[in-house]
Structure 1
Amino acid sequence: MKKYALGLDLIDDPQLIQEYVDFHKNVWPEIKTSISASGILNMEIYRFENRLFMIMEVNALFSFEKKANMDASNPKVQEWEKLMWKYQSAIPGAKEGEKWVLMDKIFEL
């Protein structure tokens, strides 16, 4: 099983951050189905202030390209992503329009 870590910021506004957290307490079932169908076995998101950290554990068939293609053709995922962008802010160093940024592992015990 492969593991990925990704980072993203939220707009630094307490009300918007709380709304984002509330959405993630009740993620739409179609989004959960889409995540699982892409080969993601486990996904966790952690928050400190307005910084998010995501850990994904994926199966051997997972690829970011495959997930992007699946997401692009799924109207419900596109609706969710458009809604979430209201709360999200690209992390420093992200490319134009890029949300979650893949992080490099620098230590393992």
Structure 2
Amino acid sequence: MDRYCFTLDLKEDKKLIETYKQYHRSVWPEIKDSLRDVGIENLEIYLVANRLFMIMEVDDEFTFEAKKKADLANSKVQEWEKLMWNFQQPLPWAKSGEKWVMMDQIFEL
């Protein structure tokens, strides 16, 4: 199993952040299914201030290309992503169009 870590910022607005948290307390079933269908076995998101941190554990068949293709073909995923972008903002160093930025591991015990 591989693990990937990502980060992204939310807009600095307490009301928007609270609404974002509420959506993630009851993620749409279609979104959960879409994650499992591409080989994501575990996914956790953490929040401090307006900074998000995501840990994604995937099976051996997972590829980012297959996930992107499946996401583009899934209207519910597209609807969810459009909705979430109302709360999210790109990191200053993100590439154009990039939302979640993959982090580099620098230590392991």
Q: TM-score, normalised by structure 1?
A: 0.98
What residue identity is the alignment partner of 2:76?
Answer: K
Paired-residue identity, %:
58
Match of 2:10 in 1: 10
Match of 2:58 in 1: 58
> Helix, strand or coil: the match of 1:35?
helix
How many angstroms apart in 2 are the aligned matches of 1:64 and 1:90? 19
How many angstroms apart in 2 are the aligned matches of 1:79 and 1:3? 26
> Helix, strand or coil: the match of 1:99?
coil
How many angstroms apart in 2 are the aligned matches of 1:49 and 1:9? 9
User: Post-superposition shift, 1:92?
Assistant: 2.1
Q: Which runs of 4+ in 1 moved over 6 A?
A: none
Match of 2:43 in 1: 43
Q: TM-score, normalised by structure 2?
A: 0.98
Name the count of aligned residue pairs: 109
> Helix, strand or coil: the match of 2:43?
strand
Q: How does 1:1-109 map to 2 (within 5 A)?
A: 1-109=1-109
Residue-by-residue CA offset, 1:4-44 (whole Å, 9 max, x unaligned): 00000000000000000000000000000000001000000
- Superposition RMSD in Å: 0.5
How many angstroms apart in 2 are the aligned matches of 1:74 and 1:87? 21
How many angstroms apart in 2 are the aligned matches of 1:79 and 1:104? 29
How many angstroms apart in 2 are the aligned matches of 1:91 and 1:46? 16
Segments of structure 1 that go 5 or more residues without pairing to the other structure are none
